[in-house]
Amino acid sequence: MPVLPGAEPYRHEGGEVGVLLCHGFTGSPQSMRPWAEYLAGRGLTVSLPLLPGHGTRWQDMQLTTWEDWYAEVDQALRELSARCERVFVMGLSMGGALTLRLAARHGEAVSGIVLVNPGNKVHGLAAKALPVVRHLVPSTKGIASDIAKPGAAEVGYDRVPLHAAHSLRRFFQVVDAELPQVTQPMVLLHSPQDHVVPPADSARVLSRVSSTDVKEVLLEQSYHVATLDHDAERIFEESWAFVTRLAPELVGEKGSASGG
């Protein structure tokens, strides 16, 4: 299937600091593209992959599982680690959960993480029914474009495939069990008004990780897809400040990363 316009993966070859960006469930790299370009413009090496089953049509996602999505970002991290001196991982929603698992499993290979409205649980009564319902009903109403900013839209599916949602639920359980293994410096930015992921998910992440260098930022003007919302610039600036604080020796004074 052809990739939806705007949903293409993005890659930028920069300096010795690499950043891996992970998009969300039923979303696409389009939701992270402005963030990726902001960091690329400051000289970082940036990788923003398209997760399997995403960016085409929701039926394609029915054939994928969380293992497929995680394998994609795991491979991207390994490629960045081979290329760069230091690597940071940043994610939105399910991309935040992918980020947390990469941090838990790769340890010192990940220098720091930035999470935006990270998902931790599939909520509601329907979640418990997923194991059965997914065999009876293929999809339900979509979750894309939860954005406060007028005119902003997310390139994502208008339906949620229930086989994939069931896999997402299992993935969140896996990640939740691994949260104590996360020790890296962390910035967590979340929206008090989020119609997809409740603030309770961010609170649980903060309570269970072992990280001691943690900054929490409230995104008061944004809904779930905050990377395309009113607070987008705040997210970009916080992530850049985070990288420059933790890897000052690799980031030049003029706002560009050094290296070949």
**Within-domain flag for 257:** no
Q: 41-59 pLDDT, tens per residue?
A: 999 999 999 999 999 999 9
**Within-domain flag for 83:** yes
Known active-site residue 166: no
Distance CA 5, CA 10 (A): 13
Order across the sheet with 186-190: list the strands.
10-12, 45-48, 17-22, 86-92, 112-116, 186-190, 214-218
- pLDDT band per the 50, 70, 90 thresholds, residue 135: confident
Q: Do 256 and 43 touch, CB atoms closer than 8 A?
A: yes
Q: From the candidates 146, 194, 229, 231, which is the catalytic residue?
A: 194
pTM higher than 0.75, yes or no? yes
Q: Do 46 and 40 touch, CB atoms closer than 8 A?
A: yes
Q: From the candidates 224, 229, 231, 239, which is the catalytic residue?
A: 224
Known active-site residue 194: yes
**Within-domain flag for 118:** yes
**Within-domain flag for 233:** yes
Distance CA 54, CA 44 (A): 25
Q: 21-41 pLDDT, tens per residue?
A: 999 999 999 999 999 999 999
CATH number at residue 193: 3.40.50.1820
- Residue 68, class by beta-carbon neighbours within 10 Å (0-12 exposed, 13-18 middle, 19+ buried)? middle
Q: Residue 112's domain spans which residues?
A: 10-248
